Amino acid sequence: MRSQLWGLYAREVLRTFRNPFVLLITVVQPFMWLAFFGSGFAQYAKDLASVYGTSNYIEFLLPGVLSTSMLSVGMFGSMSTIQDKRFGFMKRILITPTSKEVIFLSKALGSATRGLIQIPIMVAAATAFGVTLAISPLGWAIWVLALLCTAIGFSSLFLAITARSTDWQTPGVVSNFITMPLMFSSAALYPSSGFPEWMKVISTYNPISYTATLGRDLVLHGQIDPLAFGVLALFAGLMLTLGYVVSARWLRVE
């Protein structure tokens, strides 16, 4: 199983770099958030420094945008799985001693890796916008792990939902139902303290909130939030189990 997982995972990662267009999309989208949304909002945020906890809105936004990008990589994992089904590559893989679970794991880890590629680029972009990051090595490690957990969790969720699908459009539709509500009902773009009660409830169960808060505590205060990290690790574990079980049983071949 190790050999197959390594082969398929390497294929996912290599294909990302072979296909510059996908790479460009994954990087450009969060960069746009930082550049346009961040810059456009920066002036008003200065007046609300007490709310945001910083007078530099991009500093506030960076952890949030990184969190939501981990959410959107799931879609690409689903798309690449559907492409394999449609082009028959799934059959090529399965007519070898490779199980459906291993295919799932390789796709989930591949998508998560695509997510991680964005971290250095986004951090560099934020630095260019004047953000200074004073984070300890342990802090960095926790942050990256938290982002990895988020990416694995959502990739697994996407793969579980689209396990039976062979339609190109499904990942986009699923994405609309997952990405937008979770992004706006989280603490990614603004603090959740001002949310109405019903939205606070959603925010409490929204993993993106935890990823954003964990990153923000590190960026603004250099503090590690163990509770948020625990929640994210649990989320990743649950979703991995879900995707594993669903794929073994329901992953369609063609």
Partner 1 sequence: MSDGVPAIEVHDLSKRYGSATNGVLALDHVNLSVARGCVFGLLGPNGAGKTTLIKVLTGISDITSGEGRVAGFDVRRESLEVRARIGWVAAEVILDDDFSAWENLWLQAKLQDLTNWEDRATHLLQYFSLLDRKDDKVSKFSTGMRKKLEISLALLHQPSVIFMDEPTIGLDVPTRRMLWDIITGVHKEFGVTVLLTTHYIEEADALCDQIAIIDKGRIIAQGSPSELKARVRADIVQLETSDTIDAATLRALPGVQDVWAQGDDWMIRVGSSEAFLPLLLRTVPTDHIRRISVEKPSLETVFLDLTGRRLGQEDEPMRDIRKFYAQMRRARS
**Site membership for partner 1, residue 98 (CB under 8 A):** yes
Residue 152 contacts partner 1 per CB under 8 A: no
User: Does residue 105 sit in helix, strand or coil?
Assistant: helix
CB nearer to partner 1: pick between 23 and 202: 23
Binder among 43, 96, 132, 169 for partner 1 (CB under 8 A): 96
- Indicate whether 205 belongs to the interface with partner 1 (CB under 8 A): no
Site membership for partner 1, residue 21 (CB under 8 A): no
Which residue carries 């909002």 as its tokens? 41
The answer to whether residues 84 and 110 touch, using CB atoms and an 8 Å cutoff, is: no
**Site for partner 1 contains 18 (CB under 8 A):** yes
Q: Which string of DSSP letters, residue by residue, matches 32-59?
A: HIIIIIIHHHHHHHHHTHHHHSSS-HHH
Using rule CB under 8 A, residue 7 touches partner 1: yes
Choosing from 89, 129, 140, 195, the residue that interacts with partner 1 (CB under 8 A) is: 89
- 83 belongs to the binding site for partner 1 (CB under 8 A): no
Q: Smaller CB distance to partner 1: residue 88 or 172?
A: 88
- CA dihedral angle for residue 185, residue 129, residue 134, residue 117, rounded to 10 degrees: 70
Task: Give the C-alpha distances (Å, rounded to integers) separating 253 from 58, 81, 90, 161, 164.
Answer: 44, 10, 6, 15, 9
Q: Is the torsion defined by CA of 47, 49, 55, 56 positive or negative?
A: negative
Residue 3 in the binding site for partner 1 (CB under 8 A):
yes
When binding is defined by CB under 8 A, the residue of 19, 136, 204, 223 that contacts partner 1 is: 19
Supply the angle between the helices 100-128 and 57-86 in degrees, to the nearest 10: 150
Q: Looking at beta carbons only, is 110 or 207 nearer to partner 1?
A: 110
Q: Which of 36, 44, 87, 168: binder of partner 1 (CB under 8 A)?
A: 87
- Residues near partner 1 (CB under 8 A), total: 25
Q: In the chain, which ranges are continuous DSSP H helix?
A: 2-18, 20-32, 39-47, 49-52, 57-86, 89-94, 100-128, 137-161, 170-184, 197-204, 207-216, 226-250
- Position among 121, 220, 234, 253 found at the interface with partner 1 (CB under 8 A): 253
Give min distance, CB of 71 to partner 1, in A. 26
> Interface with partner 1 by CB under 8 A: which residues?
3-4, 6-8, 10-11, 14-15, 18-19, 87-89, 91-99, 253-254
